[in-house]
Each structure stands twice: as C-alpha cells, then as structure tokens.
Structure 1
Amino acid sequence: MTNPAAIFDDLAPDYDENGYHRALAETLVAALPRSGRPATVLDVATGTGVAAFAALRHLKPARVTAVDIAGSMIARARESAAVDDPTGVISWHVGPGVPAPVAGQSVDVVLCASSLHFLGSAALGDWLRVLRPGGRAAFTLPAAGHFRPSGVFAELVSPDLPIPADERQAAEVAVTAGFTEVVARRHETGGDHPKAVFLVHAVAPVQGASEAP
C-alpha cells in the first residue's frame, strides 16, 4: 500500500534544488489582489514552506498556518524559517491537509501550490469551510499534456479531480466546488524540462451578495 508521507519524506532533501516550486509559489501568491492585510493565511500541503514564506513577503499576514503530511518537509521548512520567518508568524503542522487544522470561517486566504491534484476535490470543499465569506483561495493545477506522473506518483493522483487542458477547465474546478470570481491562467516554464500549470484564484461566496439591497 502506498504511503504518501513516506514518499514525500524521501523527496524532502532535494525538493528545492531546482527552484521550480519556489518560483511557482512566488508567482501564485504575488498574483493575489492587495485588498488589505489578511489576518490569517492557511498553506495546505506546504512542502518546504515556499508558499507560506511568499505569503509573508507579499501579504504580510498576522498569522500563517502551514500543514504538510511529510514530517521531513516540515523539518526543512522550520530550518528555513530561522531566516525567512524570524518572528515566528508561521505555525508548522505535520498531518493531513484535509481537513485542515483550523476552525471554520477562520481564514482569509488559502494557498495550495503543486498539490491539489493529490488532495482531490475534498480539499476544495474544506477550503470553503475554513474561509471567511469573501476570503480567497489560490492554487495550482497541472496542465493536461504536460502532466505525466509515473510509478507511485501516478497512484497518488486523485481520481475525482480532472486534470485541465485549458483555462476554462481549470476555472471550472473551482466553480463546480462553489467558488465565485474565479480566474485561471496558464503559466509555463522553459528549460530542458518545460512545464505548464494553471494558476487559479477564487473567492469564497458571501451569503446574499447577489441579492438586491
């Protein structure tokens, strides 16, 4: 039986070596609207913490909760935090990302870089649970045609979340879950091993927002 935590534990020592995940997280977070300082940010499947650290730089939140199933990933994140988060804004948690270890409607921003295709559609529902009305989610999805998982990684991909081929399909993942104001755009990287992903930004619905005053 595949053990996801053990698989990602094994990846931890070299996870940041090529800079791809750091650059992608930076792009994802930097694209969030600056509509005031968020009080709380949740980074789901944080890995080595690259999206959580990007949130500190771009969003300047009062508090960040970062969770990952792999203890070795969190250990690497804690090492980086000595420099990237000297005041301890981020709290690190080892455990499953779904359900997230936060209360309902307690979060202003949810981040998830490079992991939703492993977590599946249940993650989207959980983000709607934890987000305050009007809160924002920012996540990535791999692009069909560029995503070719093999071996144990193929076994980890959630069967209930379609891998999108274009921006419309990427946005539909969030729309179907119940998010509003969904924007998806394709993001490509070059080099010897080019990759393409979709960056998706969405808003948790506000009760009665569409009703006339």
Structure 2
Amino acid sequence: MNVFDEIATHYDDDLFHQVVAEKLVAGLADAPTPDLVVDIATGTGAAAFAALQHLGARDVVAVDLSAGMIARALEKAAVQDPEGKIRWQVAPAVPAPVPDASADLVVCASSLHFLGNAALKDWLRVLRPSGTIAFSLPLATTFTPSSAFAPLVATDLALPTTVAEAAAVATGYLNPVAHRIEASSGRVAFLVYATAPA
C-alpha cells in the first residue's frame, strides 16, 4: 500500500484540496464546453466532479496511481456522477493513459509538485492543438510536506513564490496566467492556466 492509499479514507477531511480543485476548474467556466477532460492525479475526484458541474464536460478520464483514492472517488460518484460520465483509471500519471492529441483540457489539482516537468511535457502530447492546461501549485514558502511525502516531491520543478513564477512553470505553453488563492487557514496555492500550441 502506498502513502496515498493510506490517506485515501480521510483525504476529504482536508477541505483545502476541495477548494483548490473547485476554484481551479471554475476558473474555466467561460471557456467552450470541452469534449474530453483528463484529470491527472485525481485523488478522490474533486476536479473531475467539478468538470461536470462547472464545465458541462461530455467525457472525463480521471487517473490516479492510488487504488484507494479511486475507490473513494467511486463511492462519491454514485451521487456526483450518476450518469457515469467519468471514466476512473488506476494508472500512473505519466504518461497519461490517453491517446495523443485527444483532450481539450488537462486538469491537475494539488499534484503537479509530485509529478514534475515530465507531466507538463506529457500534457503537450495529450492535448489537442490549442487545448488548455489548468494546474495548481503550493506556495514555496509555506509548503511543508510531512516526512512521508517529502521524498515524493519532484526535484525538477521549482515551487513558486509569486504569481509570475507560477505562470512561468508552464514552459512550452502559450499565454500562461496565474492567480493566487488563500484559504481562511492561511494556506496558499497558485492556479495556473495555459494553452498548448496550435
């Protein structure tokens, strides 16, 4: 059992993950309705469910390495996705288990700092021309992973301290935009949006 399986049952007790996922996806509400959304490292499915609610996504593939997380997501799906639009997959995030140039939108909430630059490069493969990425990153100065998670943090991706640094993480993409959000608990995250080349 990996560390993510171990925390799956209580993952949703930390409401910050839900807030980040909701705000990340809701930030795309004015964009055209996507045919296929790929939610990378979905956890218990917050961003995948938000893609249905806020974007009216027609098809969602939600991927996570943790069978425990996917099991918890499936329990929630009975209520939040009664039509079964989301396809849940226990699989590595990189490479994403979807065909080249198949997705309109790739979402990654609260996980890119574990995946690193390999994920950003893979999303260029996954996205259709002019497709969109939306991801979040924690604020470098307040990010304090536990001893179980610290070794899992990617070493090839510098965590941002400013909005400009967060936007700059989207290397290889066009028109990156970042926003800073802060929860009542004082925890901070950056929401980043960018477009794949046409």
TM-score (norm 1): 0.91
Pair 1:199-2:191 in alignment: yes
Q: Compute the displacement of 1:36 (Å).
A: 2.1
Q: Compute the displacement of 1:34 (Å).
A: 2.2
> Alignment RMSD, CA only?
1.0
3-state SS of the aligned residue for 1:61?
Answer: coil
Q: What's 2:121 paired with?
A: 125
Q: What's 1:75 paired with?
A: 71
1:92 alignment partner, one of 79, 85, 88: 88
> 2:194 is aligned with what amino acid?
A
Aligned counterparts, 1:61-210, within 5 A: 61-174=57-170, 176=171, 178-191=172-185, 194-206=186-198
Identity of aligned residues (%): 55
1: CA distance, partners of 2:14 / 2:110:
15
> 2:184 is aligned with what amino acid?
G
The unaligned stretches of length 5 or more in structure 1 are: 207-213
3-state SS of the aligned residue for 2:175?
Answer: strand
Pair 1:37-2:33 in alignment: yes
Q: Compute the displacement of 1:60 (Å).
A: 0.8
2:9 alignment partner, one of 9, 13, 16: 13
Q: Compute the displacement of 1:62 (Å).
A: 1.2
> 2:175 is aligned with what amino acid?
E
> 2:64 is aligned with what amino acid?
D
After superposition, give the CA deviation of every residue in 1:30-79 in whole Å (9 maximum; x if it has no partner): 00152321100000000000000000001111110000000010000001
Q: Compute the displacement of 1:21 (Å).
A: 1.1
The unaligned stretches of length 5 or more in structure 2 are: none
Q: Compute the displacement of 1:186 (Å).
A: 1.0
The count of aligned residue pairs is: 198
**Partners of 2:20 and 2:189 within 8 A in 1:** no
2: CA distance, partners of 1:115 / 1:151:
17
After superposition, give the CA deviation of every residue in 1:119-164 in whole Å (9 maximum; x if it has no partner): 0100000111000011110000111111012312110000000011
Tell which structure's C-alpha radius of gyration is larger: 1
After superposition, give the CA deviation of every residue in 1:2-22 in whole Å (9 maximum; x if it has no partner): xxx610000101100132211
After superposition, give the CA deviation of every residue in 1:151-178 in whole Å (9 maximum; x if it has no partner): 121100000000111011111110x2x0
1: CA distance, partners of 2:175 / 2:90:
32
TM-score (norm 2): 0.97
3-state SS of the aligned residue for 2:12?
Answer: coil
